[in-house]
Amino acid sequence: MGVYLSTPKTDKVSEDGENDKLKFGLSSMQGWRATMEDAHSALLDLDNDTAFFGVFDGHGGKVVAKFCAKYLHREVLHTEAYAAGDLGAAVHRAYLRMDEMMRGQRGWRELQALGDKINQFTGIIEGLIWSPKASDSNDRHDDWAFEEGPHSDFTGPNCGSTACVALVRNRQLVVANAGDSRCVISRNGQAYNLSRDHKPELEAERERIQSAGGYIKMGRVNGSLNLSRAIGIIFLLASFCSYLSS
């Protein structure tokens, strides 16, 4: 999936920050892709004790990656599990909320605002990585399901994104992943993977896909997607659900 340029865009966009506990740095480059489909979150102050970092690699468009960068950390904050101190359960619930929130009238409206249009295979050319502004994080938590309009039956976007996030609270580190972005930690110069890539060729992933009515062709789910888990890509989810319901 995706369209490529004849020459890569090599301009880099970098950012850094720090507080009394942590420092971070990040850099992005569009490369050969015709559009910049990646986004990130880097929040040192999710609350007074917790930092949140996320990388979202879009495929088939930019809007799901941007949606996750804007809303995933907010949903973590609004879970009962987070209030109870269970970061792992909080992130798990927030991941599931992303697909829920991208449906219906409100989901359609938010995706339109983030991407100007929703297209299964292309996005609007954008040269810079996108991340939420600090002011975005204080919006009130809406009950999206009650918003009505001409797109109330919108089932969600056909593009998607990986989501690899890390929460740091004091000496606790919690990592969550969907897709093939990867979290790595360095200890004394040695790199250790903290997440596992979700690829169709993995036995457990292949069995899960096939049991849901899907198939693997040329290393891709239904011959289309080269990763086995993601946020979004509703057209694949719909095909599995259709198979199961029949």
- Does the domain made of 4-196 have the CATH classification 3.40.50.970? no
Query: How much of the chain, in percent, has pLDDT values that exceed 70?
Result: 83
Question: What are the angstrom distances between the C-alpha of 146 and each of 69, 110, 137, 143, 220?
Answer: 23, 14, 22, 6, 37
pLDDT tens digit string along 29-56?
999 988 899 999 999 999 999 999 999 9
Cβ density class 146-159: b for 16+ within 10 Å, e for less: eeeeebeebebbbb
Q: Domain extents for the chain?
A: 4-196
Provide the pLDDT for residue 45.
Answer: 96
pLDDT at 7 exceeding the cut of 70? yes
CA dist., res. 170 & res. 177, Å (int): 21
**Number of continuous H segments (helices) and E segments (strands) in the chain:** 6, 12
- In this prediction, residue 70 has a pLDDT band, given cuts at 50, 70 and 90, of very high
pLDDT at 121 exceeding the cut of 50? no
What is this structure's pTM? 0.85
pLDDT tens digit string along 178-205?
999 999 999 999 999 999 999 999 999 9
Provide the pLDDT for residue 163.
Answer: 98
